[in-house]
C-alpha cells in the first residue's frame, strides 16, 4: 500500500492537488509526523496528527479558534501559523481514523540550539509577548489539550506507576536515574506551594527553542509554532521550558554528559527579554516564580522521558531504544547544574 493512501481524500477535502513527489519529512518534533509540501514557490506544512498523545483534537480546535478570535494580534510582531480550515471549515481532517491538518509554511530558521545571548533574548521576548497578547482572555476559557500536562505532582505519580509496572531491570544508569528523579520530590512540594499563589494565564506550554522560527539572519522571530498545547498555565512554565532548551550548553539530545552545563549568560538574556515584555503585565509573584520554572520544567521532562523509557517508549518518537533514557540523563545533568546555582 502506498505510504500516502490518504492523499486523494486529503486533496478532496482541501480542494488541493498535491502529488506524493511534492511531500517530504520535515522538522524535529517528537509527537506529530510533519511534512513539507513544496510546489514551485508554494509551500505548506502538512501534519499527520498524533491522536494517541492528543486525545481531544476538538479541544485544540476550540482553543485555537478562541485564540484567533480574541488575541491582540496587533501586539504580536510575528506570525502564529494556525491550521488552514478545510473546505468544511474544520481545522482537522479525519481520514481513515487519522487526523491531518495543513498550516502555512513560514520561512526562516528553526534550530535546536542557539548561538548567542541575543538570540536567547529574542526568544524570551517572543514567548512573553504571546502570554501578554492573551492576558485579557480568561484562562479558564481554554480547555485542557492534555489533562495535567504540566502538573508536576501528576507526572511524579506517573513515574511511580511506571516504576511499579516496568519490565526493565532497574540497574546501572537506569537505577541512578530513578534514584535521582525520586529525590526531586521537594520540587513537587514547591510546585504545590506556587499553585496557591499564582494566577492562571493563557500559556504556550511548549516553549522549547525549536518551536520558534527565526529570521534567516536571526535578527528577529518570524513565528511561534506548535500551537497545540496552548492552554491555562503558569507564566513560569513558558520561561522554564526556554531555560531548559536555551540556557544549556548542550541540546536535549546530547550524550556528552560532561559538557552539559547551565549557560548563565544565556539565562540572564532570557530573563532580560522575558521581563522587558512582562514587567507591568505579570504580578510580582509571577516574576519571583520564574527561576523555579527552569528547575520545574527540566525536572518534569526528566520524569516524562524516564517514565516513557520504563513504559517501553510508547509516547515520544525515538530513533534508538535507549533514547528516552539518554534524554532523561541529559535533563538530570542540566537539573543538577540549575540546582547548584538556583537553590
Which one, 18 or 250, has the nearer CB to ligand GN1? 250
| 211 near ligand GN1, rule: CB under 6 A | yes
Write b or e for each residue in 30-61: b if 16 or more Cβ atoms lie within 10 A of its Cβ, otherwise e: bbbbbbebbeeeeebbbbbbbeeebeebebbb
Question: From the CB of 69, what's the least distance to ligand GN1, in Å?
Answer: 24
Helix (H) or strand (E) holding 102: strand 98-104
Name the binder of 286 from Mg ion, ligand GN1, none, CB < 5-8 A by kind: none
What CA–CA distances, in Å, run from 268 to 44, 125, 239? 36, 13, 12
What binding mask, one character per residue, do residues 190-209 give for ligand GN1 by CB under 6 A, x or -? ----------------x-x-
Q: How far apart are CA 91 and CA 58, in angstroms?
A: 9
| 226 near Mg ion, rule: CB under 5 A | yes
Binding-site member from 16, 29, 190, 287 for Mg ion (CB under 5 A): 29
Strand order in the sheet with 33-39: 23-25, 33-39, 42-48, 98-104, 93-95
Which one, 137 or 224, has the nearer CB to ligand GN1? 224
Which one, 27 or 312, has the nearer CB to Mg ion? 27
Which one, 29 or 85, has the nearer CB to Mg ion? 29
Binding-site member from 125, 222, 226, 294 for ligand GN1 (CB under 6 A): 226
Name the binder of 53 from Mg ion, ligand GN1, none, CB < 5-8 A by kind: ligand GN1
Which one, 203 or 211, has the nearer CB to ligand GN1? 211
**Residue 284 phi/psi, 5° resolution?**
-60, -40
Question: From the CB of 210, what's the least distance to Mg ion, in Å?
Answer: 6
Write b or e for each residue in 1-12: b if 16 or more Cβ atoms lie within 10 A of its Cβ, otherwise e: eeeeebbeebee
| 238 near ligand GN1, rule: CB under 6 A | no
Q: What is the SS3 assignment for 230?
A: coil
Residue 75 CA, chain-centre distance (Å), reads 22
| 139 near ligand GN1, rule: CB under 6 A | no
Window 299-338: residues binding ligand GN1 (CB under 6 A): 301
Report CA Rg, the chain: 20
What CA–CA distances, in Å, run from 215 to 109, 120, 122, 123, 240? 6, 14, 11, 12, 23
Question: From the CB of 284, what's the least distance to ligand GN1, in Å?
Answer: 28
Which one, 150 or 201, has the nearer CB to ligand GN1? 150
Q: Measured on CA atoms in the order 146, 103, 251, 337, is the torsion positive or negative?
A: negative
How many Cα atoms within 13 Å fall on the side-chain side of residue 69?
Answer: 9
| 53 near Mg ion, rule: CB under 5 A | no
Window 51-90: residues binding ligand GN1 (CB under 6 A): 53
Window 159-218: residues binding Mg ion (CB under 5 A): 211
What residue ranges bind ligand GN1 (CB under 6 A)? 29-31, 53, 206, 208, 211, 226, 229, 252, 301
Amino acid at each position: 500500500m502506498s505510504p500516502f493512501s490518504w492523499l486523494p481524500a486529503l486533496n478532496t477535502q482541501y480542494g488541493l492537488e498535491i502529488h506524493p513527489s511534492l511531500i517530504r519529512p520535515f522538522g524535529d518534533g517528537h509527537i506529530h509526523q510533519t511534512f513539507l509540501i513544496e510546489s514551485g514557490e508554494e509551500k505548506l506544512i502538512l501534519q499527520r496528527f498524533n491522536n494517541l498523545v492528543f486525545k481531544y483534537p476538538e479541544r485544540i480546535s476550540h482553543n485555537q479558534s478562541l485564540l484567533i478570535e480574541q488575541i491582540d494580534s496587533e501586539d504580536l510582531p510575528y506570525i502564529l501559523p494556525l491550521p488552514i480550515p478545510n473546505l468544511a471549515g474544520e481545522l482537522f481532517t479525519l481520514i481513515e481514523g487519522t487526523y491531518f491538518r495543513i498550516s502555512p509554511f513560514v520561512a526562516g530558521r528553526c534550530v535546536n540550539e542557539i548561538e548567542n545571548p541575543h538570540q536567547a533574548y529574542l526568544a524570551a521576548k517572543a514567548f512573553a509577548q504571546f502570554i501578554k497578547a492573551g492576558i485579557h482572555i480568561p484562562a479558564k476559557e481554554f480547555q485542557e489539550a492534555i489533562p495535567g500536562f504540566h502538573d508536576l505532582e501528576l507526572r511524579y505519580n506517573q513515574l511511580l506507576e511506571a516504576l511499579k509496572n516496568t519490565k526493565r531491570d532497574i540497574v546501572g544508569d537506569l537505577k541512578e536515574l530513578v534514584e535521582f528523579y525520586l529525590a526531586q520530590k521537594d520540587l513537587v512540594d514547591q510546585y504545590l506551594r506556587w499553585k496557591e499563589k499564582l494566577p492562571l494565564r493563557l500559556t504556550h506550554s511548549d516553549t522549547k527553542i525549536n518551536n520558534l522560527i527565526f529570521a534567516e539572519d536571526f535578527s528577529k522571530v518570524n513565528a511561534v509554532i506548535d500551537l497545540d498545547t496552548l492552554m491555562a498555565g503558569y507564566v513560569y512554565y513558558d520561561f522554564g521550558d526556554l531555560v531548559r532548551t536555551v540556557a544549556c550548553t548542550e541540546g536535549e539530545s546530547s550524550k556528552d554528559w560532561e559538557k552539559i552545563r547551565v549557560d548563565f549568560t544565556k539565562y540572564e538574556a532570557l530573563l532580560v527579554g522575558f521581563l522587558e515584555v512582562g514587567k507591568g503585565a505579570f504580578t510580582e509573584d509571577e516574576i519571583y516564580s520564574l527561576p523555579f520554572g527552569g528547575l520545574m520544567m527540566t525536572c518534569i521532562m526528566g520524569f516524562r522521558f524516564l517514565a516513557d523509557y520504563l513504559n517501553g517508549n510508547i509516547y515520544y518518537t525515538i530513533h534508538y531504544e535507549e533514547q528516552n533514557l539518554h534524554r532523561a540523563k541529559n535533563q538530570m545533568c542540566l537539573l543538577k547544574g540549575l540546582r547548584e546555582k538556583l537553590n
